Structure 1
């Protein structure tokens, strides 16, 4: 188990350290992290999710019980955080959306996948793919809508009817590459369409840089800052690393998932916050310090919580 956790955590720490050293040595500026975040959100991550969806067996995508458990676990923790952020911490809707993303978006591709591959085998990647579909179809579009609704620069929105405002922001969210590109991959997979290698190869190359670039940008963002453990970060880490896997386990029992599928959903739930959530905070210029602290400390503590979950489900 120590070897498994080391294999999962060391690449994250190493690449974030490179980003931090880049800022420390003056090779890049802390402000450059915003540019890297744009590349990740607009290009690399959408194409990474697209290729993952495209290469998934359509029959596995149609496992509705498994998908329902992931929806309940992921979106349940999202809405729980949204309520806490709005009515306990009294944040505005834009900040609440980013905090909810930090608490509900697991780092499935870069933290959860290696653990599942060792624990379960190739079949373990199914949960990562379907989980990414859930975040692409539900969580990320909702976050974009809430961020746009809370953006104070859009003064023209003030006179619009709330339903019309939601529709306008929904249409804008759907046009966002991180939404429509992964959904396109799902539709192509369900239709049995395979892209020619000449096209899929460069798309896959772009997608592969998402993890490394996100981690590098986060490390650069940490330069000059000390992560702080306060009420905000403690709440975020507790929801992400403890409450979310609890929701996954309860939903899995309710839907009667097999032992292997239960292992997947619990491990995914215990996975620390995704680096992409920090990129959203950086891109929207809100909740940056708390988001980055929650992700960094949560990732470090994730070694303990993930190890505990592996012990329990095994």
Structure 2
């Protein structure tokens, strides 16, 4: 159990600390921080998600119970975050989209693999792929649409067109289409895309450390609300839905892991590129990551003793 926690959290804390140190020493300007965020959102993360979607087995996409269990956790927490942001915390549309992202986007790409491999095995990685497909095909287009809204008279059609053209939306969708079609990527294409995409998590963590070094970290009621929804409620929703649907034992464990992962480090990168919910998203990721020490331990105990 201790090895699982160290494998999952050690790299996150290490790279985050390097970014924080560089930020405190002013090794990088604010413009450089923006460049790191743009690289993650527009290049590295879309390529990583494209590869994950393109290499998944078509049979996995057709497993309704598995798909629905993860989808309920991701989509319901997104809706809760969006509604509470508007009605409870009185944010505008763009900030509400950022908060909804912060309470529902798990760190599947970076924190997911070591936890899944240790608790379920290599077969558990499929839940990470499904979660990424659900998020990028269903939720990210909505987020991009909301973040693209201006205060002026911009039509829904224009903002939707702008959203779906973004690499973060179109590349994972293209990957899913290739997987369903049974088209295999040539090895040289796979290796090339993987080389660019696998740095998404590390760069996002480094950029987050730079950001945290420049802002006053907050742990107010709103941030605590965000962390509760992401670290606790999301896992409970996935577990409850899986049990209700009678999901297979091993698949249920893999799906449940997705729910207790911390907020994705890509969230502040997406927010900063849209100038929405920037400081709160960074604070949410940091507190969520710290709290994941507790949620990962709780999740592993449930997996080992109850499932």
TM-score by length of 1: 0.94
State the superposition RMSD in angstroms. 1.2
Report the more deviating stretch, 125-134 or 252-261. Answer: 252-261
Alpha-carbon offset, residue 313 of structure 1: 2.0
Q: What's the CA shift for 1:109?
A: 1.4
Q: Look up the match of 1:218.
A: 208
In structure 2, the residue matched to 1:243 is 233
- Unaligned 5+ runs, structure 2: none
**5 Å matches for 1:298-313?**
298-313=288-303
Separation (CA, whole Å) in 1 of partners of 2:25 and 2:81: 38
Find the counterpart in structure 1 of residue 14 from structure 2. 14
Contact map agreement 2:148 2:162 (CA 8 A) in 1? no
> Which residue matches 2:261?
271
Report the Cα distance in structure 2 between the residues aligned to 1:266 and 1:29, rounded to whole angstroms.
40
Cα deviation, 1:118-166, whole Å, max 9, x if unaligned, reads 11110010000000000110111110111122x32xx242xxxxxxx33
Q: Shift of the alpha carbon at 1:23?
A: 2.1
Partner Cα distance (2:62, 2:217) in 1? 41
Aligned twin of 2:23: 23
Matches of 1:226 and 1:116 in 2, distance apart? 33
The answer to which of 175-184 and 196-205 deviates more is 196-205
Out of 261, 267, 291, which is 2:251 matched to? 261
Quote the residue 1:54 is aligned against.
Answer: 54
**Partners of 1:45 and 1:207 within 8 A in 2:** yes
Match of 2:194 in 1: 204
Deviation at 1:44, TM superposition (A): 0.4
Unaligned stretches of 5+ residues in structure 1: 158-164
Give the aligned partner of residue 162 of structure 1. none
* CA deviation profile, 1:168-203 (whole Å, cap 9, x unmatched): 322221111011111111111111112222322211
Residues 124, 254 of structure 2: 8 Å contact kept? yes
Note if contact 1:40-1:213 (Cα within 8 Å) is conserved in structure 2.
Answer: yes
CA distance in 2, matches of 1:188, 1:279: 27
- Contact 2:147–2:276 (8 Å) recurs in 1: no
Name the CA distance, whole Å, in 2 between partners of 1:168 and 1:250: 39
Displacement of 1:70: 1.3
Q: 1:203-223: per-residue Cα shift (whole Å, max 9, x none)?
A: 111101111110110011111
Secondary structure of 2:247's match?
coil
**Could you say which residue in structure 2 is the equivalent of 1:110?**
110
Evaluate the alpha carbon distance shift between residue 30 and residue 20 of structure 1 in structure 2; reply closer, same or farther with a 3 A threshold: farther
Distance between the aligned counterparts of 1:123 and 1:139, measured in 2? Answer: 25
Given the alignment of the two structures, is residue 3 of structure 1 paired with residue 22 of structure 2, yes or no? no
Query: Which residue is 2:32 aligned to?
Result: 32
User: Number of residue pairs matched?
Assistant: 304
